[in-house]
Every structure is written in C-alpha cells, then in structure tokens.
Amino acid sequence: MTSLSEPINPEKPQKTGFSAFLEWRDHNKYTSNLIAIVLFLILLPLFSGHIASQYLVYVLIILVLMSAIFTLSGNRLHLIIGSFFAALSIVFNILFFLTGEAPYYQASVIVPLFFFGFVTLIIFSGIIRERKINFDIIAGAISVYFLIGITWAYGILVLELLVPNSFTLGGIDPNQLRYLPDFISYSFSFLTTTGNFDVSAATPFARMIMMFEMITGTLYIAILISWLVGKFISREKP
C-alpha cells in the first residue's frame, strides 16, 4: 500500500515567492524604501524628455510615495496622515493629467512637498530612536538623505510656482511649466555642496533658500553619521 502523504506542518507554512518577498520587506522596510528611491532617481532622467513621458514620472513618484508609506505603518496615525497626503498627490496628478488645469498643477506640486517633508521627519525620528544598528537602519539613514534632496527639490519647485523667475533654467522658456526633473539635480548639487548645474537662483531670497539646503546637507552628514558611528563604537565596548 502506498503511504499517506505527511501532513503539512502548520508551524512551517509553504511560502510563495510573493509571500517571501513580503516577509523580506517586513524585516527590511528601510532597505526596500531606499531601493525604490534609488530606482526613482536613476529612471527619472529617462522620463523627462517631453511632456508625454513626463506623466510616467508621476507614476514613479507615486511608487516612491507608497513605498515610503510602508515605513510609517508601525504607527496608525502616521499611516493615516501619510496615506492622506499620498492619495491627494495621486488625485491631483491624475486630474492635471486629464484636464491640464493650472490649479491641479499647483496642487500636484504643493501636496508632495508636505508629504515628502512629513515622511522624511518620521523616518529620521524612527532611526534615531533605534538602539541596535543593522544594515536596514543604515539604509534608512541613506534614504533620509535622498528624501531630503527630493523634498528640497519640491520646495524649489513651489518657490518658483509662488514667485515666478526665482530660478533661471538654461534652455527653458521662462513661461514654460516647471517639473520635478528640472530641479532634482539642482537640489542634490546644493545638498552635496557641489553646485555647477544649469539652474541658478535669480533672487536674494532664492539664494538664501539654497544656502539653507547646503547647511541642511552638511549638518545631516555631520550629526547623523557621527551618531551612527558612535552607536557602532558603543556596541563594540565590553
């Protein structure tokens, strides 16, 4: 007689590829967020050539927003606030895509500024409260740095929206609508204090704003990375 198959052990359920990915993501929430942000920044220039491909950038932005929301899921209030801003971003981007109306464009620029700023603060506060340092926490610290650059890029975009001609862009009509790819490299050039891009601050207030971005980038590296090193040193002590 053939023997009956062994019963499935409930303590060791079979995992599909997708469930295994979800489990990995649960234990590497900062790492998954960092991967999404890096892919977004790598692919961003590929979708900024003309207006049709510009809308694909919005899809990438939404993916980054949803990835960032996942890192907030440990706190219900944070998740609700983050989901609210992400939903508004998606809605306004879709409405602007469908109608081309200026108010939807303005909202699609302003709302992500608040969302990215909110996510950056929440992730940063979560990282500095960690007692044990591992690769995922380091990935979170790196993702915060990228989020700071993206947040400042939206801030520059909002400033240009509220005060036109605050920045000059080489080869772009001053009356043309500005998009995130127009300022993302400029933002990171100031965050890293490297400079030398085709965007320049044209007013004293705009130059002051960019000065504060340089200070933010420098302080972040000096404070947070030093904190991480201190954590490693204290862990090595007997």
- Quote the pLDDT of residue 200: 78
Tell me what pLDDT residue 14 has.
53
Best CA proximity match to 167, nearest among 180, 154, 157, 176? 157
Q: Which of 74-88, 143-157, 173-187 has the lowest mean pLDDT?
A: 173-187
* 3-class SS of residue 233: helix
Instruction: Give the largest Cα separation in the chain, rounded.
Output: 89
| 18-53 tens-digit pLDDT | 676 566 666 778 888 888 888 888 877 776 666 656
Question: Is the alpha carbon torsion for 15, 16, 20, 22 positive or negative?
Answer: negative
The predicted pLDDT at position 175 comes to 60
Hunting for tokens 């043309």 — which residue is that? 176
User: Taking the model in full, what pTM does it have?
Assistant: 0.82
**Residues present in the chain in total:** 238
In the chain, what are the domains?
29-236 (1.10.287.70)
